[in-house]
Structure 1
Amino acid sequence: MAERTLRGARLGGQSFEDERGIEFAARQQVGYRCAQGHTFEITMSIEAEVPAVWECPRCGSEAVSTSGIEREEKVEKPQRTHWDMLLERRSEKELEEILTERLELLRGGEIGPAHLHRASTRKKKARA
């Protein structure tokens, strides 16, 4: 076991690289305030798009940017109903024609629930 251990360094400990010659990205401090009154700052890249809302690290509620960045309001589509989708495929005149045709078939006993067919066919046989 003693032959396998690494000497002189801790695993996962510290890096032996130094920071000479490394150019860090430009940064900015962005301030936020939540409804509870907590204020905090987040370090972000200058190139990053700064969000209008950030989660408060203390209470978890939404915190708003103190630099005046406004939320973009999303345009919500109105909810489409079955009737709206039907009107995309057919005109009202076509729908009226289909309705009258289907009602005639239903009243004539050609379509519809089975128990209605049996009753109408019995009546027809009794008349004949």
Structure 2
Amino acid sequence: MADRSLKGTGLGAKSFEDEAGVEFAARQDITYDCPRGHNFTLTFSAEADIPSLWECPRCGAESLRANHERPTAKDEKPPRTHWDMLRERRSIAELEDLLAERLGLLRSGALGPNYGSTPKKTA
């Protein structure tokens, strides 16, 4: 009997709750212009900090808020590489001396042919 009373109601898809007396939060519609000619509108809270840039839902390009200027790009430091960190500790002359020393050892056979590789375990 209970199965028939719910038949065709689309459970989970519809709410039977009345919206009378419900006070919605203040909202604002913000329009963005895509460089490829797409325009779209998003709804934000009235209290939200509105971003100047948003990804276009159609093509993925970086879209600018309508009637706004592009924000200034922040200066970003390039990532430090291994070479940068090495140069902080050693000069070029020191590195050339170390290279010559290691090449001499390698060529003389003092380091062996498998220097730097892990030995294989034999069973």
Under TM normalisation by the shorter chain, which class is it?
0.5 to 0.7
Q: What letter is aligned with 1:6?
A: S
Specify the alignment match of 2:121 in structure 1: none
Over aligned residue pairs, what C-alpha RMSD do you find?
Answer: 3.3
Superposed CA offset, 1:17-73 (max 9, x none): 2331x221111121112234333322211222222233445x425332113153452
Q: What corresponds to 1:4 in structure 2?
A: 3
* Equivalent position of 1:110 in the other structure: 110
Count of aligned positions = 110
Report whether the alignment pairs 1:17 with 2:18.
yes
Gaps of 5+ in 1: 115-128
Give, as a single letter, the amino acid of the residue that structure 1 aligns with 2:4: T
Give the corresponding residue for 2:42: 42
Which runs of 5 or more structure 2 residues have no equivalent in the other structure?
A: 115-123
Query: Structure 1 pair 17/9, CA: closer, same or farther in 2 (3 Å)?
Result: farther
SS of corresponding position for 2:4: coil
The Cα of 1:75 is off from its aligned counterpart by 3.6
Higher CA-based Rg: 1
More helix by share: 1
- For the residue of structure 2 that corresponds to 1:48, the secondary structure is coil
Q: Aligned residue for 1:122?
A: none
> 1: CA distance between counterparts of 2:18 and 2:70?
42
Q: Would you say the 8 A contact 1:30–1:67 is kept in 2? A: no
1:1-128 paired onto structure 2 within 5 Å: 2-6=1-5, 10=9, 11-12=11-12, 13-20=14-21, 22-57=22-57, 59-62=58-61, 63-68=63-68, 70-71=70-71, 73-88=73-88, 90-92=89-91, 94-113=94-113
Report the TM-score when normalising by structure 2.
0.60
TM-score (norm 1): 0.58
